[in-house]
């Protein structure tokens, strides 16, 4: 078994581009439209949604663009990313005003960031 993609919501293409493309450096696909009928049948959302894929080797996020989207808070729902430069990523997140939570755990920290829409991501540095 393997993970094919992770679906996330975003209130705008700009928000999704900023987090996945600019901040994380994932490649962006051209947006395509999920028709309202299919959106209703799959997600019980009665409107068409744009979908944009952001990917790199071994990972793909499928961002559903919905102006009404806001991630539930508080939430335990998250995905975990391993990054080459955690300090650099956290500095860029701080510069962008993103919420960063670092909680001590033993001799290290557990680190979570929220994107502009409130989606939660655990981040770890590659060893």
CATH number at residue 102: 3.10.180.10
Q: What is residue 122's predicted lDDT score, i.e. its pLDDT?
A: 98
Give the pLDDT confidence of 11-58 residue by residue, as tens digits.
999 999 999 999 999 999 999 999 999 999 999 999 999 999 999 999
Collapse the DSSP code of 100 into the 3-class scheme (helix H, G, I; strand E, B; otherwise coil) and give the result: strand
Which residue is associated with the tokens 């508080």? 74
Give the pLDDT confidence of 75-108 residue by residue, as tens digits.
999 999 999 999 999 999 999 999 999 999 999 9
- Interatomic CA distance for residues 8 and 65, integer angstroms: 9
Tell me how many domains the chain contains: 1
Cβ partners under 8 Å of residue 89, min gap 6: 23, 24, 83, 113, 123
Q: What is residue 12's predicted lDDT score, i.e. its pLDDT?
A: 98
Q: What is residue 43's predicted lDDT score, i.e. its pLDDT?
A: 97
- Residue 84 belongs to some domain of the structure: yes
- Residue 48 belongs to some domain of the structure: yes
Cβ partners under 8 Å of residue 21, min gap 6: 27, 28, 54
pTM of the model: 0.94
State which residues form the domain around 66: 6-125
pLDDT band at 1 (very low <50, low <70, confident <90, very high): very high
- Residue 93 belongs to some domain of the structure: yes
- Residue 1 belongs to some domain of the structure: no
Give the number of other Cβ atoms within 10 Å of residue 108's Cβ.
10
- Residue 10 belongs to some domain of the structure: yes
């Amino acid at each position: 078994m393997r993970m094919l993609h992770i679906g996330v919501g975003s209130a705008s293409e700009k928000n999704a581009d900023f987090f996945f493309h600019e901040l994380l450096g994932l490649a962006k696909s051209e947006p395509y439209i999920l028709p309202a009928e299919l959106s209703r049948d799959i997600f019980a959302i009665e409107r068409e949604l744009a979908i944009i894929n952001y990917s790199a080797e071994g990972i793909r996020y499928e961002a559903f663009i919905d102006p009404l989207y806001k991630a539930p808070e508080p939430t335990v729902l998250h995905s975990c990313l391993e990054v080459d430069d955690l300090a650099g990523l956290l500095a860029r997140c701080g510069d962008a005003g993103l919420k960063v939570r670092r909680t001590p755990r033993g001799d290290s920290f557990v680190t979570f960031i929220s994107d502009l829409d409130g989606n939660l991501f655990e981040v770890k540095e590659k060893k």
